[in-house]
Structure 1
């Protein structure tokens, strides 16, 4: 079995055995506060451990960096843009999951010297698997997929600005609203990226760019024909000194966002740690 299929099979198994059985069944003691308005559950910890063990069997010796491991040991992110690295987000959208609502997902990426070379995003409830291999295109449930921009009076933007101060956030939304209809983010990157490819959203913006949140999706989007750059226009790269991320399902939509949003409005930090 190819490494690509091994990872997909592992993710489905972990989702079936650990994630789905705990959806809407978590006990109070299985939910903890991580600080900064974020929570973690037993499902996050247990699924990350199972994914880590599986990846270590498939690809011995390769560095593995998981979200929850980094919470306990932030130094794991040092030199994240160097060498071959597996990135794990065992339960993306934990707040949704803990509240008993969708969407939430599981994300894995394989990165070499900061460049995503393979990525997987699984919706544990529907079973939808979005995946991509660098240079080989993007798929949904093994079927090739390309971006599907929609013909509508105004394109749709989804803005991850929750880490900005109120004044700046208001200014960014006001600027983008001159050229787009705004839709709230789903609070789940594993859902945000499919929405761009499938045409529900045309552009998106995020300030916080922790690598496990964006490496799988940025590869999926670009392999499907979309655009993913940092705020300064540099191609998205794990560990880049550039800040933020801008996403679009076409060059036209990307240019429209850049024209509507002066870079001077954007913060100079991207909350990577």
Structure 2
């Protein structure tokens, strides 16, 4: 199953997403909500992934970002007891539509409401990160070692897309972020940020919006590489979580440091 999904994701990306990159017409891009764009590639790739994934696992359901946009009730399947695929056909659509990188394709398999496996493909770079619960996370077939160290305060690197944060929290991040080290606004692509934390390219990421297709795949990958994904209140992130605010970190000690530094009490 792991190899079959890996092959499917790469095939859909190669045939339906990459050919559209920097070749989108105006009619190929629309705004589904203020500031939130979708392209013809998103829709075509989600349809292909849905068909391919349900063929691999007959009887399974699919929760795709575009399907939920069309019918919000689809999201309720996250809590189903059976097999459920969570799909983001093009993560980082704003980058993709503007002809920029990074952008990714993300898939996760839920069993009984918990994440059993996850796939994130860096589409332009053709780099695949895969995780299976209890079996580790792998980048192009090589196991990602656990992050065990904690960089000295002032030397961490992380991302916080502050434009989405409530005003009080945004001010806190702006004021106290330099205490941790280098804090950027991120790449506007969760499919980049999660693997970056898992591999140690950065030590943390902070998110406000918590949509399952953005976080379910990456959360398993980070955890299987020794990392921590928790809400601002310290509770563990789960696929059905709906509350705002996540801190993603390379390990629990880094999570504690970032949380204590950036998150305002009460958020």
Q: Which runs of 5+ in 1 are unaligned?
A: 267-273
Moved over 3 A (4+): 147-153, 165-168
Equivalenced residues, count = 264
State the distance in 1 between where 2:99 and 2:133 align: 34
Equivalent position of 1:86 in the other structure = 85
Residue 136 in 1 paired to residue 146 in 2? no
State the distance in 1 between where 2:24 and 2:194 align: 27
State the distance in 2 between where 1:79 and 1:67 align: 13
Cα deviation, 1:122-163, whole Å, max 9, x if unaligned, reads: 011111000100000000011111245685652112113332
State the distance in 2 between where 1:180 and 1:114 align: 36
| RMSD value, Cα | 1.8
State the distance in 2 between where 1:79 and 1:8 align: 23
* Aligned partner (choices 49, 54, 77) of residue 52 of structure 2: 54
Higher deviation after alignment, 27-36 or 80-89 = 80-89
Equivalent position of 1:39 in the other structure = 37
State the distance in 2 between where 1:103 and 1:265 align: 33
Q: Which runs of 5+ in 2 are unaligned?
A: none
Higher deviation after alignment, 238-247 or 121-130 = 238-247
Shift of 1:88: 0.4
Change in Cα spacing, 1:156 to 1:110, as seen in structure 2 (3 Å) is same
Question: Does the 8 Å CA contact 1:137/1:224 hold for their aligned counterparts?
Answer: yes
Cα deviation, 1:199-219, whole Å, max 9, x if unaligned, reads: 221111111110011111010
State the distance in 1 between where 2:181 and 2:97 align: 32
Report the secondary structure of 1:178's partner residue: helix
Cα deviation, 1:57-101, whole Å, max 9, x if unaligned, reads: 001111111000110001111252332311000000000001001
Change in Cα spacing, 1:196 to 1:210, as seen in structure 2 (3 Å) is same
Equivalent position of 2:195 in the other structure = 194
